[in-house]
Structure 1
């Protein structure tokens, strides 16, 4: 028979109840721990999901900001380039102005070029006449020569013509000897004119002065041979 306490409850019954309570408490603790773990896991999942959304939003904002900065930078580069082009176009010899000038030149050249050419030819003709007049030679003769010594070369050619006239007037030995001597002197002067072309300016002027003096002497001799006294 079981042992009963004074209140009528057996010791075994109390032990069983205590064990049941202990088991119940243990189960409740286990279930509570499990619930806490499940809640913590769910909380971490929600937090991770929320953080992922935040990171995605941040990346999106960064991308938008980068695109906005890139757009602003491109706009600034475009504005700077436009200002630089405007400044370059404002220069008289900018590529745009040169292109414009060339286009205009192509359009007007069929009209302007012939006029300019005729004007240039006229100016050169007048200048040649002035130089020929100063040198005492025909303009047509002066046009046959060029270079620094063109007027001297024209004078030599004119003097040759005069010497040829002397040769035709008298076929005597003495006169022909004179013509030969004058011709040789003129040949030497022609060589001197050609040589002076490559001289420095100072030496060339000195040589030209000497040639001019010799030509003046030859002209005086020819005039004397023709019976003209200067």
Structure 2
């Protein structure tokens, strides 16, 4: 196994100083394109995980982004009902306000608040599915 010596390190740095100015202009456009492709894939993955369109991803940021997406989805489904339940609409607005308020809480309190909102959303979704006959 070859050891790195101070002289070898100096030689490697000298070679890098000569080669880098020629390589960087050639490689940079490919790196920029690769970064863009990776970002697009990450955004599609995140949007798919949240169940939203990629264009709507910016609306659901922060620690409570997934909960906001769920609340929005339930609100949309509720609006599609022939007779929307006003109590549920009010509850969804309250849950959205709780998630927004939790953004500024310390991490442990925020997680507890998100867990409570998640449990309440489960109950709201269950009632909605019953109303839809599913």
TM-score (norm 1): 0.45
Contact 2:52 2:69 in 1 (8 A): no
Match of 1:139 among 52, 60, 64: 52
The residue aligned with 1:208 is 114
Deviation at 1:226, TM superposition (A): 2.2
Deviation at 1:109, TM superposition (A): 1.7
Q: What is the alpha-carbon distance in structure 2 between the residues aligned to residue 101 and residue 186 of structure 1?
A: 57
Q: Give the whole-Å Cα distance in 2 for the aligned partners of 1:210 and 1:107.
A: 53
Correspondences of 1:116-127 after superposition (within 5 Å):
116-127=35-46
Between the two structures, name the one with larger relative contact order (CA 8 Å, sep ≥ 6): 2
Shift in alpha-carbon separation, 1:190–1:110, aligned structure 2, 3 A:
same
Provide closer, same or farther for how the CA distance between residues 112 and 180 of structure 1 changes in structure 2, counting only shifts above 3 A. Answer: same
How many residues are matched?
122
Q: Is 1:224 aligned to residue 125 of structure 2?
A: no
Equivalent in 29, 32, 38 of residue 110 of structure 1: 29
2:67 and 2:111 map into 1 onto residues whose CA distance is: 12
**Do the aligned partners of residues 127 and 164 (structure 1) sit closer, same or farther apart at CA in structure 2, a change above 3 Å counting?**
closer
Point out where structure 2 has 5 or more consecutive residues left out of the alignment.
Answer: 1-5
Q: 2-side partners of 1:208 and 1:104: how far apart?
A: 49
> Alpha-carbon deviation of 1:104?
4.5
Cα separation, partners in 2 of 1:151 and 1:103, compared to 1, 3 Å: farther
Task: Mark the structure with the bigger radius of gyration.
Answer: 1
3-state DSSP class of the match of 1:120? Answer: helix
TM-score (norm 2): 0.73
Aligned partner of 2:95 among 150, 171, 189: 189
